[in-house]
Amino acid sequence: CLATKTVRLYYITSRVFASLHYCDAFHTTELIMGRVRTKTVKRSSRVLIEKYYPKLGLDFHTNKKICDEVAIIASKRLRNKIAGFTTHLMKRIQKGPVRGISFKLQEEEREKKDSFVPLHSALEIAAQTLEVDQCTADMMKAMGVCWRLDQSLTMQYEGITHTVVPVAANIQLPERFPRRAR
């Protein structure tokens, strides 16, 4: 449906969670079902992921078989819900860390990010020579910095010394919007 207005009407009971979508083109409403996941399903799928992460995948049917093998689940319906939510969480884990799930691979990745040391310090890079073109030199003159284009300029800013060197003194910049010939 191309022109869809979503009128969200939530019917929340123990099992039903739906929203009505009204379609202008056909003047119809369609009922789209959603999910209500209980604390039991969420908790058990998180535990499964923490313990059996290497075995689990992004496929519902393989996750369902693994749930059957490693866990004692009371009913087939509950097993399918747990396997479905486990698959959903595995897809989210592929994108990035998920709150409430902590397994070895995720912890190792977090430690690598925390212990990362850059090769060059940002302060060293800022203290190096900075090349400036004519436009920037004109701006600096307008700000009150007296400076000739044939010399380099040393500036002190927040305790760091910057050396500013002009790129070229006699570069003619083109007009920004050239006029059309009539």
- Dist. CA 48–CA 65, nearest whole Å: 13
Model confidence, pTM? 0.45
How high is the pLDDT of residue 135? Answer: 80
pLDDT in tens, 46-64: 889 888 888 888 999 999 9
Question: Which amino acid type is present at position 173?
Answer: L
- Dist. CA 1–CA 9, nearest whole Å: 19
Tell me the pLDDT band of 175, cut-offs 50, 70 and 90. low
CA-nearest of 128, 136, 130 to 171 is 136
Contact 2, 17 (CB under 8 A): no
How high is the pLDDT of residue 12? Answer: 42
Fold for the domain defined by 39-113? Diphtheria Toxin Repressor; domain 2 (1.10.60)
Tell me the pLDDT band of 99, cut-offs 50, 70 and 90. confident
User: Residue 97: what are its φ and ψ, rounded to 5°?
Assistant: -65, 145
Of the two residues 123 and 112, the one the predictor is more confident about is: 112
Of the two residues 175 and 167, the one the predictor is more confident about is: 175
Of the two residues 35 and 44, the one the predictor is more confident about is: 44
pLDDT mean over 153-172 = 58
Q: Domain extents for the chain?
A: 4-33, 39-113, 122-166
Q: What H or E segment, with its residue span, contains residue 22?
A: strand 18-23
